[in-house]
Amino acid sequence: MDLRPDWFDMIGRRVSCRLYDGRDVPEELRERLEVFCDGASAPAGAPGSPQVRPGEVPAPARVALVDDPERRLFTSLTGGYGRVAGTPLAAAFIGRAPAATDVPPEVGQSVGYLGEGLILEATRLGLGTCWIAGDVDRAAADRLADLAPGEVVVAVTPLGFAAERQTDGGRPARISAKASARLSVEKLAPGILDGDWPAWAVSAVQAARLAPSGGNRQPWRFRLDGDSLVMGRADKLYRTAHMDFGIARLHVELGARHEGVAGSWTPLPEPDVARFTPGA
């Protein structure tokens, strides 16, 4: 997956939208999303390789556009925020796993990394999105995504034009990436405000802070280790935490690149997640 520099700006513009205005996504935009899916979904190198360079997929995962003309993909509520309605187009984030509730950590991270790329690209194209890992009709998702043996739909996003009204029965249906409920950068990365962190690492953590996560729980933590940035984990995780680690890993890369620093990831044993090393 090629990382676009302008995805960095999309981090702050992305919002979670659940209500759409019913307009079809123009064929031109759809074709651009198809190009993204075709280019992003082929794993680069063997799964589980010790180092993963920017844009590479560390385990089997892919993204596919899904047509849902009968509007059967989304169930009534999504995480307590209200229903998804008003668009027949979605994207399925697919991984190789025994079941959607039993996704290996490396597959979950791959799905999150690729899926967030699609989310940011759709944002760049002016479309609304929303990460949804629950409240999906699993049978409909599997059928519409045309899965290969051993694949499951891990999460989905609707794709369309956000409705002007973004409330559903009093529930907010549009959540900003800059929601005040997020943890501070100091809580995510103790010592980051002391002035000793390089600019690329500060930018990386700030970008990760705006990454979406299940219930806005932000399971990632960061520390400097020599010239590298280590992503650790919170004390308590949840079912989709590894997918959220993958989302944050993409944000880290985009934040670092914004300061002119590229690098690669090395998976780490628990309680850590991975190490980002500049220039590697």
- Provide the pLDDT for residue 176: 54
Helices (H), the chain: 7-13, 27-40, 105-124, 138-145, 185-188, 199-209, 241-258
Name the segment(s) of the chain with CATH classification 3.40.109.30. 182-278
Contact 66, 156 (CB under 8 A): yes
Give the model's confidence band at 54: pLDDT under 50 very low, under 70 low, under 90 confident, else very high. Answer: low
- Reported CATH class of domain 7-174: alpha beta
Name the segment(s) of the chain with CATH classification 3.40.109.10. 7-174
- Provide the pLDDT for residue 181: 74
Helix (H, G, I), strand (E, B) or coil at 229: strand
Res 45 pLDDT > 50:
no
- Provide the pLDDT for residue 131: 96
Tokens for 263, please give them: 């690098």
Q: What is the pLDDT of residues 195-207, one digit of tens each?
A: 899 999 999 999 9
Q: What span, in angstroms and rounded, lies between the C-alpha atoms of 107 and 11?
A: 23
- Read off the pLDDT of each residue in 111-122 and give the average, rounded to a whole number: 97
Q: What is the pLDDT of residues 132-179, one digit of tens each?
A: 998 788 889 989 998 988 899 999 999 999 998 766 554 545 555 555
Give the model's confidence band at 53: pLDDT under 50 very low, under 70 low, under 90 confident, else very high. Answer: low
Residue type, 130: C
278: cis peptide before it, omega within 30°? no
Percent of the chain with pLDDT strictly greater than 70? 85
Q: What span, in angstroms and rounded, lies between the C-alpha atoms of 18 and 16?
A: 7
CATH number of 182-278: 3.40.109.30
Contacts of 156 (CB under 8 A, 6+ apart): 66, 73, 74, 90, 91, 92, 93, 132, 136, 141
Contacts of 71 (CB under 8 A, 6+ apart): 85, 88
- Provide the pLDDT for residue 83: 79
> What is this structure's pTM?
0.89
